[in-house]
Amino acid sequence: MGLLEGKVAVITGATSGIGRRTAELFVAEGARVAFTGRRETEGQALAAALGDKGRFIRADATLEDDWRRVIGETLSAFGRLDALFNNAGGPAPTGSITSVPVEGFDAAMALLVRSVMLGIKHAAPTMMRQKSGSIINNGSVAAHLAGYSSSMIYGAAKAAMIHLTKCAAMELGEHGVRVNSISPGAIATGIIPKALGMEANKADGIADKMKDTFAKVQPVPRAGITDDIAQAAIWLASDRSTFVNGIDIVVDGGLIGGRMFTPHQQSLAQMKTALGL
């Protein structure tokens, strides 16, 4: 029996990357999944691959009416809601704070913060009636330390989202509903090429080419992959984490833990040489 046997989940932003892989693994673990995205072709292709345990709902996670429809269709199709993975996201404006376009800032906050608020808002009533449920929000190491995203606006939005997670957890936990977040590190997906201006479908296709670079940025000597985040989401959605509430799980191979040992030792050796020791 899978870890999610009998559970029903909604996953946003599931037409590529982390969302797509999470939908695949949730179904493999026994869940029935309603998943969303704005790209019809990719969504229908995934629905066909998942079979009768997967249902694609074309939706924009920043729109409240779309959220009402997503939750309504999920309950009509599957009868309950046990987990929500607020995964929908995308790039934010890059460059100096002195040149950030206001419309780009507002769009990023809508996609990265408002979408999560709306997901919690519309999933929570059903879960509260059930006295159970797990809401999982996709964060970022950029929320913890500046300079870990191509965009400072992205980092600020993810930091706001993680605090929103904690605030919601304090309320909903009283009703048996848990709210947590996952902060990915250097995961090989198309988000960075998209942030730098590459078209979405092309960016998704070159994600694997980023693995060699990403393998060198943290102590664990490999790039992060979508499975790393999907497996954390499975655990949070499962009954193995029912006493976990209001936390952010960093999945980054040690990226933000501190200075890596070997480069640090090399710098100390250089200092000794400079000091004539």
- Say what the pLDDT of residue 204 is: 66
* Whether residue 154 lies in the annotated active site: yes
Name the catalytic one among 35, 78, 148, 154: 154
Two tokens at 203? 């960016």
In this structure, whether the domain defined by 8-274 belongs to CATH 3.40.50.720 is answered with yes
- Does 59 score more than 80 pLDDT? yes
Question: Of the candidates 44, 18, 25, 23, which has an alpha carbon nearest to the alpha carbon of residue 35?
Answer: 23
- State the Cα–Cα distance between residues 30 and 276, nearest whole angstrom: 64
How much is the pLDDT for 209?
76
Q: What pLDDT shows up at residue 203?
A: 64
pLDDT at position 200 is: 66
Q: What pLDDT, on a 0 to 100 scale, did the predictor assign at position 215?
A: 86
In sequence order, the 6+-apart residues with CB closer than 8 A to the CB of 40 are 58
Residues 6+ apart with CB under 8 A from 143: 155, 158, 159, 161, 162, 183, 248
pLDDT > 80? residue 194: no
Judged by DSSP in three states, 101 sits in coil
Distance CA 120, CA 114 (A): 10
Average pLDDT of every residue of the chain? 94
Residue 249 has pLDDT above 90, yes or no: yes
Residue 211: what residue type? K
* Domain range annotation of the chain: 8-274
- pTM for this entry: 0.93
The mean pLDDT of 59-85, rounded to a whole number, is: 98
pLDDT-derived band at 190, boundaries 50, 70, 90: low
Residue 104 in this model has a pLDDT that exceeds 90: yes
Structure tokens at 262: 């070997």
pLDDT of residue 20: 97
- Region at 33 (left for phi over 0; alpha for psi -120 to 50; beta for the rest): beta
Each residue's pLDDT tens digit, 196-233: 667 766 766 667 777 888 888 999 999 999 999 999 99
Parallel/antiparallel/unpaired status of strands 83-86 and 54-58: unpaired
H or E stretch including 80?
Answer: none
pLDDT tens digits, 121-180: 999 999 999 999 999 999 999 999 999 999 999 999 999 999 999 999 999 999 999 999
Output the pLDDT for position 124: 98
DSSP secondary structure letters along 145-162: STTSSS-HHHHHHHHHHH
pLDDT over 90, % of the chain = 88
**What is the per-residue pLDDT for 21?**
97
**Residue 208: predicted pLDDT:** 73
| Region for 110 from its dihedrals, namely left if φ exceeds 0, alpha if ψ lies in -120 to 50, beta otherwise | alpha
